[in-house]
Amino acid sequence: MSLEELNKKIEKEYQEYLSSLTSLEKEKHLKETQEFDNSMNKFWNEKYPKMSLEEKKRYWLASTHRGMRTQGEALGDEYSEFSKEWYDFAKAHEPDFDEIFDYVTKNLGFEFDWEKYNKRIKK
């Protein structure tokens, strides 16, 4: 199953889940979702910009390692974590992302395939 097919399946199942909720349950779920979104926005807009370069490197290393491992286990393709949208998001929040990501790839503990990565982000 491709990542696009998986996303469509997840969206369909999510809509079915929402339809199965009572009004109160749906309201609670949507409130919790909004709180999570607010928390993520707060991280990217307030906490992340105050991090040192070393802290940012550690953040991206842990995030990338975890993401690639998860995608590898779920889809059998560690590089499915990367996309143009992912890269654009990273660059929007970290102007020095390419420099940081170079550090990340050298410290993942395995040989990083730049060809697969660049193909995914269409750089």
Q: What is the pLDDT of residues 31-82, one digit of tens each?
A: 999 999 999 999 999 999 999 999 999 999 999 999 999 988 887 889 988 9
Phi and psi of 26, rounded to 5°?
-65, -45
Distance CA 56, CA 108 (A): 15
Buried b (16+ CB within 10 A) or exposed e, 52-88: eeeebbebbbeebbeebeebeeeeeebbbbbeeeebe
Instruction: Read off the pTM.
Output: 0.78
The overall average pLDDT reported for the chain is: 92
Q: What type of residue is 76?
A: G
Count of residues in the chain: 123
